[in-house]
Amino acid sequence: MRRRTPFTAFDPAAVSPWNVQIDGLGFGGDYNPEQWPAEVRDEDVRLMREAGVNVLSVAIFAWATIEPREGELEWGWLDDTMDRLHEAGIQVALATATASPPPWLTRRHPEILPRLADGTVLYQGARQAYAVTHPLYREYALRMTTRMAERYGDHPALALWHVDNEIGCHVPRDYSESATAAFRVWLVARYGTIERLNEAWGTAFWSQRYATFEDVLPPLVAPMFANPTQQLDFDRFSSDALLDYYRDLRDTLREITPHVPTTTNLMTTSATKGMDYFSWADDLDVVANDHYTIASDGERHVELALSADLARGVAGGDPWILMEHSTSAVNWQPRNRAKLPGEMLRNSLQHVARGADSVMFFQWRQSRAGAEKYHSAMLPHAGTGTDVWRGTVELGTTLQRLGEVRGSRVVSRAAVVVDYPAWWAAELDSHPTQDLRYMEEVRAWYSALWHQGVTVDTVPPYADLDGYDLVVVPTLYLVDDDGAANVARAAERGATVAVTFFSGIVDEHDHVRLGGYPGAFRDLLGVRTEEFFPLQVDERVGVTGKAVGGDATADLWTEKTLVRDGTEVVAAYDDGALAGHPAVTRREVGAGAAWYVGTRLDPAGLASLVGRLVEESGVAPDVAAPAGVELVRRRTADGATTWLFALNHTDDGTTLDGLTGTELITGTAVEGSLALPPGAVRVVRAAASH
Ligand code: GAL
């Protein structure tokens, strides 16, 4: 990959915050006027004003409209759009228009198309048909970016640059020739010599020793398991290659418009595995995230919370932009249900509760043609006499009432450690079980905490853990020495730390840490595992112990764990091959405690255990809420003002006690108790710090 000198002239402090001209929270969506006749823009702007729209993402997929034939540029429609939006007081997150190269480009230069691991070419005709590493594609993309910056850099509507779109969404891994060449350059930068690569990849195994970097390939389809470290490094490289593409476009924008901040929209769902977003964080002037609820997920509001918390984690706790979500159905799931009354408002405000300072949608006006015509929008096919449109207007009004929360931060004293390289490595082939899914483990622990009303930050292993009283480390299979030491320090300092099975097994090269599992955490936890005993698909074992609620069951994973002196066995297997062996242990460490959970507990058992951890660490919420009612607090930097978001995900109304302040959505005083109707959201401002 091409290496560039870092951009030194840029001073982030000199960049104006993207939303400087917006009063309160951002509200809007993707705006694609190129799909419509020019007359529609009049109605668009009128209705945007009616709804209170103040920010739009423009020109994301507009390359072929701007440049229908190579070098022929048609700016009129975009000039007009930018001017109209400015007149209407609407800010623009202007795209680089690179998210889908025009057909003339890929026909003329098919070498820029990406490939799958089996060599299949991904052709044009959908979108994102480009290899980010291809020098010629890069040249075209930079040219387009430069044109956008030169044309609109001084436009008063321009608030933010939106680089490409969901980079890596469709092609997180490209195995083309240009990717192969860039992979080799990346490997040279990482290892310096081929001997060091051979060492790191363990190529003495299966006669894989490389003579030169030229011999190295991406992990293409092969007769048997590809080298695991090769696979892992290709994952790292691919994330870096996508980030490098972002940086290149970003640097071009900065040179021309140093005063305008830059971002790209991430996809921090539990399904997006391709990009190590924590490593992207420093390059984003503001974090932007896209999220879509999954219809088949019975607890989609919990998955939404996790996605929002991941976005906030990438943002280091700062406010972030919800760049896309949907007013109602999407078009890309197997069965695309419409949202129920109140669901969209609740989804939107759940993101705001968890740190979003802007709520945006894909897209403003529902398309008539193309692959997304059945995807909902702010303005649906059926027009303004609809629930969706009324919901859009209601949301706009609600966000105006909540404007004062802008800039405040979410309060959390618990952390769940999440790591992308650990995710990639944990799910490699040739492992003790093929059934382990890293994000399922993260989600299980996250959900258990959500159900106890605990707001968590999701942080990488190298984050500063000082502010946390509870630190959960689910299946951190790969961890380097610094990460492991960081987790251990949290326990020494006084936190309750819980590490779960298949953690600390390998170093950053995917080499096993010898001497017994879980190598990196053996001393912290006071345990040593000799062998893994993963379970068959329908196999369950019993687990007994007060901490797991008496009798629990476990699936997926068991292991033969021995404890050191001073490590307490708090739950043991009561049947199966490991009957009598420890399943959950606890050890006092410094001013804190370290728990080891060597199996996957059923939800009730996990809920009991998490209850114990919450109690021990003192992170229980200070306001009691019934099941299905979510409470999250945002707070000003000085702690003088807090806002408690109460979201009722149930069909039953309830009353929350012990609250005093002002409810912002209804504009009423709260004196001791707050009524929370079914499905409703309330936001209580309190003057005292919590
Ligand atoms: C996102 C994408 C949008 C739109 C949306 C539909 O992945 O950025 O352009 O396709 O999904 O849900």
pLDDT score at 9: 46
Per-residue pLDDT tens for 353-380? 999 999 999 999 999 999 999 999 999 9
For residues 158 and 149, what is the distance between their CA atoms, to the nearest angstrom?
Answer: 10
Looking up tokens 């901040």 gives 261
Q: How far is the CA of 682 from the centre of ligand 1 (A)?
A: 29
SS3 205: helix
SS3 164: coil
pLDDT over 80 at 10, yes or no: no
For ligand 1, whether the C-beta of 164 sits within 6 Å is no
pLDDT over 60 at 8, yes or no: no
State the DSSP code for 142.
H
pLDDT over 90 at 22, yes or no: no
Task: Give the whole-number percent of the chain exceeding pLDDT 90.
Answer: 96
pLDDT over 50 at 4, yes or no: no
Return the best residue to mutate from 372, 374, 376 for the ligand 1 pocket (most ligand atoms within 8 A of CB).
372
Least confident of 17-26, 91-100, 187-196, 538-547: 17-26
Q: How far is the CA of 362 from the centre of ligand 1 (A)?
A: 6
> pTM for this one?
0.97
Residue 688 — very low, low, confident or very high, per pLDDT cuts 50/70/90?
Answer: low
For ligand 1, whether the C-beta of 175 sits within 6 Å is no
Q: What separation in angstroms does the CA of 334 have from each of 268, 272, 296, 599?
A: 21, 18, 9, 33
Indicate which atom in ligand 1 lies nearest the CA of residue 169: 7
Q: How far is the CA of 58 from the centre of ligand 1 (A)?
A: 13
Q: How far is the CA of 325 from the centre of ligand 1 (A)?
A: 9
Let me know if the fold of 414-617 is the same as that of 629-687. no
pLDDT over 50 at 82, yes or no: yes
Tokens of 425: 């490595």
Residue of 396, 397, 374 lying closest to 328 (CA atoms): 374
Residue 14 — very low, low, confident or very high, per pLDDT cuts 50/70/90?
Answer: low
CATH topology of domain 629-687: Immunoglobulin-like (2.60.40)
Per-residue pLDDT tens for 418-451? 999 999 999 999 999 999 999 999 999 999 999 9
pLDDT score at 13: 64
For ligand 1, whether the C-beta of 446 sits within 6 Å is no
For ligand 1, whether the C-beta of 285 sits within 6 Å is no
For ligand 1, whether the C-beta of 166 sits within 6 Å is yes
Taking CA atoms only, the protein residue closest to ligand 1 atom 7 is: 166
Task: Report the pLDDT averaged over residues 666-675.
Answer: 97
pLDDT over 50 at 6, yes or no: no
The strand pairing partners of 550, in sequence order, are 545
Q: How far is the CA of 370 from the centre of ligand 1 (A)?
A: 13
Residue 3 — very low, low, confident or very high, per pLDDT cuts 50/70/90?
Answer: very low
Q: Identity (one letter) of the amino acid at 299?
A: E
Taking CA atoms only, the protein residue closest to ligand 1 atom 12 is: 330
Whether the CB-CB separation of 319 and 25 falls below 8 Å is answered with no
For ligand 1, whether the C-beta of 324 sits within 6 Å is yes
Tokens of 302: 């919990």
SS3 286: coil
Per-residue pLDDT tens for 296-354? 999 999 999 999 999 999 999 999 999 999 999 999 999 999 999 999 999 999 999 99
For ligand 1, whether the C-beta of 57 sits within 6 Å is no
Taking CA atoms only, the protein residue closest to ligand 1 atom 11 is: 362
pLDDT score at 271: 87
SS3 655: strand
Task: Give the whole-number percent of the chain exceeding pLDDT 70.
Answer: 97
For ligand 1, whether the C-beta of 330 sits within 6 Å is yes
For residues 213 and 453, what is the distance between their CA atoms, to the nearest angstrom?
Answer: 52
For residues 261 and 253, what is the distance between their CA atoms, to the nearest angstrom?
Answer: 9
Per-residue pLDDT tens for 144-200? 999 999 999 999 999 999 999 999 999 999 999 999 999 999 999 999 999 999 999
Residues 6+ apart with CB under 8 A from 92: 55, 56, 57, 58, 82, 85, 86, 155, 157, 158, 159, 160
For residues 404 and 386, what is the distance between their CA atoms, to the nearest angstrom?
Answer: 30
Mean pLDDT computed over every residue of the chain: 96
The residues spanned by each domain of the chain are: 25-171+260-403, 414-617, 629-687
Return the best residue to mutate from 32, 96, 166 for the ligand 1 pocket (most ligand atoms within 8 A of CB).
166
Task: Report the pLDDT averaged over residues 408-415.
Answer: 97
For residues 423 and 350, what is the distance between their CA atoms, to the nearest angstrom?
Answer: 26
Tokens of 218: 């991406």
CATH architecture of 25-171+260-403: Alpha-Beta Barrel (3.20)
Q: Identity (one letter) of the amino acid at 107?
A: R
Catalytic positions, written as ranges: 166, 324
For ligand 1, whether the C-beta of 375 sits within 6 Å is yes
pLDDT score at 1: 29
CATH topology of domain 414-617: Rossmann fold (3.40.50)
Q: How far is the CA of 55 from the centre of ligand 1 (A)?
A: 17
Return the best residue to mutate from 31, 57, 328, 362 for the ligand 1 pocket (most ligand atoms within 8 A of CB).
362
Q: How far is the CA of 401 from the centre of ligand 1 (A)?
A: 28
SS3 453: coil
Q: How far is the CA of 276 from the centre of ligand 1 (A)?
A: 20
pLDDT over 90 at 603, yes or no: yes
Q: How many CB atoms lie within 10 A of CB 516?
A: 14
For ligand 1, whether the C-beta of 234 sits within 6 Å is no
Q: How far is the CA of 78 from the centre of ligand 1 (A)?
A: 21
Whether the CB-CB separation of 629 and 650 falls below 8 Å is answered with yes
- What angle is formed at CA 616 by the lines to CA 613 and CA 619, rounded to 5 degrees? 80
Indicate which atom in ligand 1 lies nearest the CA of residue 292: 12
For ligand 1, whether the C-beta of 463 sits within 6 Å is no
Per-residue pLDDT tens for 393-411? 999 999 999 999 999 999 9
For ligand 1, whether the C-beta of 419 sits within 6 Å is no
State the DSSP code for 651.
S
Rounded to a whole number, what is the distance in angstroms from the first to the last CA of the chain?
A: 49
